[in-house]
Structure 1
């Protein structure tokens, strides 16, 4: 499904601000994989997502999505196959447009809002009802009136309205209160399972990293230092994960945000 082969990325090369963000990284995801990714700030997690999404071109290597080489494909073209949610709930929707209009934009219903029919509106109502947030009865309201959690849930719905080949979740619950975050995670599980969407999720919560999906990666210094799945992952505790990271990375994990979570 996703084949990343020996990609590297250095920002500001040849200057005092040179930063090697990713170094010779390779990764393969099978169809339906749900991979959780954890690592300290600067480990390369968001850079990896940006490389896959096409926010920049890598310096070397290749990225193949569902058999198509997207290495040099611009971001707007990759967006047809890749859904993405960010940590900031405000980034994924248009606040001045209604809930209905945002969903129509995501679904590509007729190209223009005036072409929305009753069938489209019924589809949007049904999908919103699954969120159990009462948004199905507020379809004519501007998205800017919603809470952060409601907007993030709506953005998740928008990103999967036409199920993408790959879903990138970049700490998409980190800015939410614990109760709302748990609800959005529940919706995430259900949506991903319903459509069997191949998913990559960055998280700072080590328990989530082991409980969600079927595979856990840990990153450090722009590369993957740990890749665990199957029976080994099922029996792993957070303490075990920290020990494995220390053995593979040659140092202990020292990110307070991750350790305190």
Structure 2
């Protein structure tokens, strides 16, 4: 489904600001895989997402999605096949446009149409209302309201719907619940699991929560200094503890994980009954 081969990226080469962001990354996701990704700040997690989404062309390597080489495909064309959510709830929607207009934009882009809003049919609007109703937030009764009036959790739920309204080949979730309060984050995460499972979407999710990293989906990846240093799946993952995952990371890279948010979530996972 998704194959990264020898992906490397250096920003500002030959300058004092030179930074090697990705180092010869190889990754193969099968159809329907749901992989969580953990790593410290600067490990390359979001940069890898940017490479997949086409925000820049990697210095080396190839990217293949569902058998198609997309290495040099521009980002606007990739967006028809790749859904993406960010940590900031403000990034995924247009606040001055209505809920219906935001959904229409997402629908037209992902379905490959370039028609204006006037081409959105009653059938399409009924589909929007049906999908909104499934979120359980009452947004189906507010389709004519500006998105800027929604709470952060409602906007993230709407962004999730927009990213999956036309089922993408790949869904990229970049800590999409991190900016939300715990109760809202849990609700958005439950919606994520439901939508991904029902539509059999291949998914990559960056998280700082070690419990989520081991319990969501079917694979756990850990990154360090632009490399994937650990890939745990199947029986090994089923029996892996948070402590064990941190130990394996330290063994593989020669140092302990040094991200306070991740370590705090790890302590909470261990002490929570």
Superposition TM-score, scaled by structure 2 size: 0.94
Q: Which residue of 2 aligns with 1:73?
A: 73
Distance, in Å, in 2 between the alignment partners of 1:223 and 1:63 is: 16
Task: Please say if residues 84 and 168 of structure 1, whose CA atoms lie closer than 8 Å, have aligned partners that are also in contact.
Answer: yes
Tell me, yes or no, if the aligned pair for 1:98 and 1:139 is still in contact at 8 Å: yes
Q: Give the counterpart of 1:240 among 228, 235, 244.
A: 244
Alignment of 1:205-216 (within 5 A): 205-216=209-220
Q: Work out the number of aligned pairs and report it.
A: 261
How far apart are residue 223 of structure 1 and its match?
0.3
- 2:180 maps to 1:176: yes
After TM superposition, give the deviation of residue 85 of structure 1 in Å: 0.2
Per-residue deviation at 1:110?
Answer: 7.7
Name the CA distance, whole Å, in 2 between partners of 1:203 and 1:194. Answer: 22
1:227 aligns with 2:231: yes
1:77-132 deviation per Cα after TM superposition (whole angstroms, max 9, x unaligned): 11111000000011111111110111111112782222222211111111001111
Corresponding residue for residue 268 of structure 2 = none
Separation (CA, whole Å) in 1 of partners of 2:192 and 2:93: 17
SS of the residue corresponding to residue 163 of structure 1 reads coil
Displacement after TM superposition at 1:21 (Å): 0.4
RMSD across aligned positions (CA) = 1.0
Structure 2: runs of 5+ lacking an equivalent: 266-273
Aligned counterparts of 1:2 and 1:110: Cα–Cα separation in 2:
27
Listed one character per residue, the Cα deviations across residues 3-56 of structure 1 (whole Å, up to 9, x for unaligned) are 100010001111111100001110000000000000000100001000000000
Aligned equivalent of 1:118: 122
Runs of 4+ with deviation above 4 angstroms: none
**TM-score, length of structure 1 as denominator length:** 0.98
- Which whole-Å CA distance do the structure 1 matches of 2:225 and 2:121 have between them? 51
